[in-house]
């Protein structure tokens, strides 16, 4: 509760600051108010996979539980396994007919369907998770989880014995490439002889493809596996069964890999989801931090470092925690240049600290990664 209160204070400060700026531009605070998202009796959530996937969908579902607790007077409409097709539009339209004025389309591929529905329903607010496009009544939010993935890479770089680590990726979108790069940079920061082998399976959640990719990487000598998939359970369980280590993503999955788990990066959406709903239901969406592209990170507690596995030595834990403190103290940033791509070309010049907006255009893999980006 104390953490949620602190988060609310931070966001409230941002809202006041934006209102003040608007006021200084001859826009009164009252004009910032809008009816967008107000007047409904339900809040909708779409998930591309199941809620118990030890991954992206489970993390988002957990966040929706916090919304349910915070707003008991609202109905919560939640639909799992919604594909990134016109079916997502149908689901959102049904939610609107059922009284939703606030809808969270949580998967990357739900963005374009949400934009279409947003055109037809200007009084409904859509909050898309991770999108790069916005509309008058559609904002996007995400966390700079790459900061924590870098830390996960540091731990993995110290733990590998073969100097081969496998990364099972979904699609070559900027956020996925960014996470592969962050992990690789973390690994190489402590083990410059190590390489990260990246493979793309063209799916967010296909257990068959995941198991096949995991087994292939292990057969190639990888003794640590990680991923950017929505559902992570199959990969972690395959690694555990084959006797290799794993780095987690989206959720803390220590309990399903008691021997091989190192650590990982996971989401804590609770406070952010609640605050977004609170702002919208109070008629304050326009002019708020969520009216556009909102990004947060490790400092606000949305992206967090998972528990360490029992076989991680104390010196590795200490090293990771020290680097985490450097990030929290703004003394270190994972993508401070120079950063080179696979060909050795400098992509981020020495001393340059790129913005998140710039990083979200990433279209390359860094030095130390092995694999080709699908066209």
Q: Look at residue 347 and give its three-state secondary structure.
A: strand
Q: Is the peptide bond before 316 cis (omega within 30 degrees of 0)?
A: no
The per-residue pLDDT for 9 is 46
CB-count exposure of residue 69 (10 Å: 0-12, 13-18, 19+): exposed
Q: Give the C-alpha separation, 170 to 146, whole Å.
A: 16
Domain end marker among 300, 321, 342: 300
The dihedral through the CA atoms of 37, 41, 42, 43 has a sign that is: positive
Asked whether residue 253 falls in the same domain as residue 135, the answer is no
Count of CB atoms situated within 10 Å of the CB of 264: 31
CB-count exposure of residue 287 (10 Å: 0-12, 13-18, 19+): buried
Whether 210 maps to a domain, the answer reads: yes
Asked whether residue 260 falls in the same domain as residue 294, the answer is no
The per-residue pLDDT for 19 is 40
Q: Look at residue 194 and give its three-state secondary structure.
A: coil
Q: Where in the sequence is the domain holding 356, given as residue range(s)?
A: 146-266+303-370
Contacts of 345 (CB under 8 A, 6+ apart): none
The per-residue pLDDT for 267 is 96
Whether 326 maps to a domain, the answer reads: yes
Whether 320 maps to a domain, the answer reads: yes
Asked whether residue 132 falls in the same domain as residue 42, the answer is yes
Asked whether residue 253 falls in the same domain as residue 315, the answer is yes
SS3 for 285-314, per residue? CCCCCCCCEEEECHHHCCEEECCCCCCCCH
Domain CATH for 228: 3.40.50.2300
Whether 274 maps to a domain, the answer reads: yes
Asked whether residue 76 falls in the same domain as residue 157, the answer is no
Whether 262 maps to a domain, the answer reads: yes
Tokens of 10: 């931070």
Asked whether residue 155 falls in the same domain as residue 234, the answer is yes
Asked whether residue 114 falls in the same domain as residue 153, the answer is no
The per-residue pLDDT for 375 is 86
Q: Give the C-alpha separation, 129 to 52, whole Å.
A: 19
The per-residue pLDDT for 36 is 93
Asked whether residue 28 falls in the same domain as residue 103, the answer is yes
Domain end marker among 253, 281, 300: 300
Please count the structural domains in the chain.
2
Asked whether residue 160 falls in the same domain as residue 171, the answer is yes
Tokens of 139: 């904002």
The per-residue pLDDT for 22 is 38
Asked whether residue 258 falls in the same domain as residue 292, the answer is no
Q: Are strands 195-200 and 164-169 parallel, antiparallel or unpaired?
A: parallel
Distances (CA, A) of 27 to 23, 32, 262, 265, 326: 5, 8, 52, 41, 40
Whether 213 maps to a domain, the answer reads: yes
Domain end marker among 300, 318, 350: 300
Whether 92 maps to a domain, the answer reads: yes
Decide if 245 contacts 224 (C-beta within 8 A): yes
The per-residue pLDDT for 366 is 98
Whether 375 maps to a domain, the answer reads: no
Asked whether residue 85 falls in the same domain as residue 9, the answer is yes
Q: In sequence order, what are the beta bridge partners of 45? A: 78, 104
Rg (CA), the chain: 21
10-residue mean pLDDT profile of the chain (375 residues): values are 46 43 34 76 96 92 98 98 96 98 96 98 97 96 96 98 98 96 98 98 94 98 96 95 97 96 97 97 96 94 97 98 98 98 98 96 98 94
Total residues belonging to the chain: 375
The per-residue pLDDT for 7 is 52
Distances (CA, A) of 278 to 70, 207, 256, 322: 9, 37, 35, 36
Asked whether residue 191 falls in the same domain as residue 327, the answer is yes
């Amino acid at each position: 509760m104390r953490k949620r209160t602190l988060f609310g204070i931070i966001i409230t400060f941002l809202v006041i600051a934006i209102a003040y700026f608007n006021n200084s531009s001859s826009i009164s605070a009252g004009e910032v108010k809008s009816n967008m998202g107000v007047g409904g009796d339900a809040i909708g959530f779409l998930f591309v996979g199941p809620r118990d996937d030890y991954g992206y969908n489970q993390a988002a579902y957990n966040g929706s539980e916090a919304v349910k607790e915070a707003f008991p007077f609202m109905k919560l409409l939640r639909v799992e396994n919604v594909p990134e097709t016109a079916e997502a539009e149908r689901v959102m339209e049904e939610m609107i007919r059922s009284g939703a004025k606030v809808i969270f389309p949580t998967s990357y591929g739900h963005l374009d369907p949400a934009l279409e529905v947003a055109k037809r329903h200007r009084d409904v607010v859509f909050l898309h998770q991770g999108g790069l496009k916005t509309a008058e009544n559609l904002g996007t939010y995400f966390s700079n989880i790459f900061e924590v993935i870098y830390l996960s890479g540091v731990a993995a770089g110290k733990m590998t014995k073969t100097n081969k680590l496998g990364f099972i990726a979904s699609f070559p979108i900027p956020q996925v490439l960014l996470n592969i790069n962050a992990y690789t940079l973390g690994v190489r920061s402590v083990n410059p002889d190590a390489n990260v082998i990246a493979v793309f399976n063209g799916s967010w959640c296909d257990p068959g493809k995941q198991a096949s990719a995991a087994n292939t990487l292990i057969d190639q000598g990888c003794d640590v596996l990680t991923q950017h998939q929505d559902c992570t359970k199959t990969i972690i369980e395959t690694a555990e069964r084959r006797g290799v280590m794993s780095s987690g993503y989206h959720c803390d999955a220590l309990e399903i890999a008691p021997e091989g788990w190192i650590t990982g990066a996971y989401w804590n959406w609770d406070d952010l989801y609640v605050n977004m709903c609170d702002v919208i239901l109070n008629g304050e969406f326009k002019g708020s931090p969520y009216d556009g592209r909102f990004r947060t990170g490790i400092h606000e507690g949305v992206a967090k470092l998972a528990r360490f596995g029992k076989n991680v030595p104390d010196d590795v834990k200490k090293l990771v925690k020290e680097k985490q403190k450097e990030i929290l103290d703004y003394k270190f940033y994972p993508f401070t240049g120079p950063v080179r791509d696979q060909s050795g070309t400098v992509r981020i010049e020495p001393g340059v600290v790129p913005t998140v907006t710039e990083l979200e255009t990433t279209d390359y893999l860094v030095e130390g990664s092995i694999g080709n980006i699908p066209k």
